[in-house]
């Protein structure tokens, strides 16, 4: 594998382009904002989403989708989940059946409730059956861009694709493990952001380590129930894309979703918080989708339900916590 297209110039897309550049002869990074793409091509820095990280000279930054995927062997999608369908629609005339598609977007599409790999199949399948994998794990973009060691998962029903991407992406600071359960990986990657908002709320309320440990543990149980109901495997959620990513996102100060929850716990309104954010907190939209999906799958998800109530219904965080604690008693 010699030619990589990274579709999405936010912090994670920029970090991946940077760390993967030495592994490929050609890396093209598609950035939606034309002025930002021009600045990045000139200065080698994403001053909007990942300031301080330097792109190597081999990374070509472009705002042209056809140019980004020209001759690409791997198309790595890192766009926000609510833009994914539109971007793949725009890409469709420029794709071919020899490309491998890897989704690093963490989210569930509102309305359809499709995971991102399903969105790719839904769109690209109109031309040819795409070969699709999903990439996830406990990673903050800033640390990956600095070259700090990280481990992630590449999951696909097509094990040959997973192994090809593992070989192409693994390097001195990024270690990939293969997995054949993309359903579990995508559910874990998406719903952990909902639990991270809850973790931030607890921190904003001034609650301590006992509460956080209980939240992470019961959050993992909740995510696992949804993954299994959707056709995933419980053991996947005990790995990097489940427990690993959940622990990082709930505890790490670099987590945007945790930050949203923290500010909610401090009494700020969601509209004010989002208006002041430059980057997207996927967990907000995922909460709405996960709440609807839990009903469709008949899965009990009490933490998700309370996060939904805080975000959509304006419930006071302390009241939401009280309702969680006073639910009917159960076995673990």
2, 192, 269, 330: which one is catalytic? Answer: 192
> Helix, strand, or coil here: 175?
strand
How many whole angstroms separate alpha carbon 269 and alpha carbon 321? 17
192 is catalytic: yes
What stretches of 151-254 show up as alpha helix (H) in DSSP? Answer: 159-169, 182-204, 209-229, 245-251
Residues 80, 109: contact at Cβ < 8 Å? no
How many whole angstroms separate alpha carbon 254 and alpha carbon 165? 27
170-180 b/e (C-beta count within 10 Å ≥ 16 → b): beeebebbbbe
Residues 317, 115: contact at Cβ < 8 Å? no
How many whole angstroms separate alpha carbon 309 and alpha carbon 312? 5
Classify residue 170 by its DSSP letter: -
**CB-based burial label for 327 (10 Å; 0-12, 13-18, 19+):** exposed
- Crossing angle between the packed helical segments 317-325 and 182-204, to the nearest 10 degrees: 120
Residues 12, 31: contact at Cβ < 8 Å? no
Residues 199, 217: contact at Cβ < 8 Å? no
How many whole angstroms separate alpha carbon 166 and alpha carbon 163? 5
Provide the annotated active-site residues.
192
């Amino acid at each position: 594998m010699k030619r990589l297209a990274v579709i999405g110039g936010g912090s994670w897309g920029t970090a991946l382009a940077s760390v993967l550049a030495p592994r490929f002869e050609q890396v093209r990074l598609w950035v939606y904002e034309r002025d930002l793409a021009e600045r990045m091509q000139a200065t080698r820095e994403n001053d909007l989403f990942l300031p301080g990280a330097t792109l190597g000279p081999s990374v070509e930054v472009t705002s042209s989708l056809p140019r980004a995927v020209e001759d690409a062997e791997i198309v790595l999608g890192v766009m926000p989940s609510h833009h994914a369908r539109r971007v793949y629609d725009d890409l469709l005339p420029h794709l071919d059946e020899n490309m491998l598609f890897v989704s690093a977007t963490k989210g569930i599409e509102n309305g359809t409730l499709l995971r991102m790999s399903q969105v790719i199949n839904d769109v690209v399948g109109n031309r040819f059956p795409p070969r699709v994998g999903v990439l996830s794990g406990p990673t903050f973009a800033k640390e990956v861009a600095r070259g700090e060691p990280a481990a992630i998962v590449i999951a696909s029903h097509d094990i040959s694709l997973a192994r090809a991407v593992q070989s192409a992406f693994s390097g001195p600071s990024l270690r990939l493990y293969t997995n054949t359960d993309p359903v579990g990986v995508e559910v874990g990657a998406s719903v952990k952001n909902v639990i991270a908002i809850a973790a931030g709320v607890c921190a904003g309320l001034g609650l301590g380590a006992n509460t956080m440990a209980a939240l992470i543990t019961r959050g993992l149980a909740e995510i696992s129930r949804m993954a299994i109901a959707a056709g995933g495997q419980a053991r996947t959620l005990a790995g990097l894309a489940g427990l690993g990513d959940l622990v990082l996102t709930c505890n790490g100060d670099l987590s945007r979703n945790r930050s949203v929850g923290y500010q909610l716990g401090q009494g700020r309104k969601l509209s004010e918080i989002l208006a002041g954010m430059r980057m997207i907190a996927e967990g907000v939209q995922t909460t709405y989708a996960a709440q609807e999906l839990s009903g469709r799958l008949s899965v009990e998800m009490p933490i998700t339900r309370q996060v939904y109530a805080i975000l959509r219904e304006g419930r006071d965080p302390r009241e939401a916590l009280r309702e969680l604690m006073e639910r009917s008693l159960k076995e673990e």
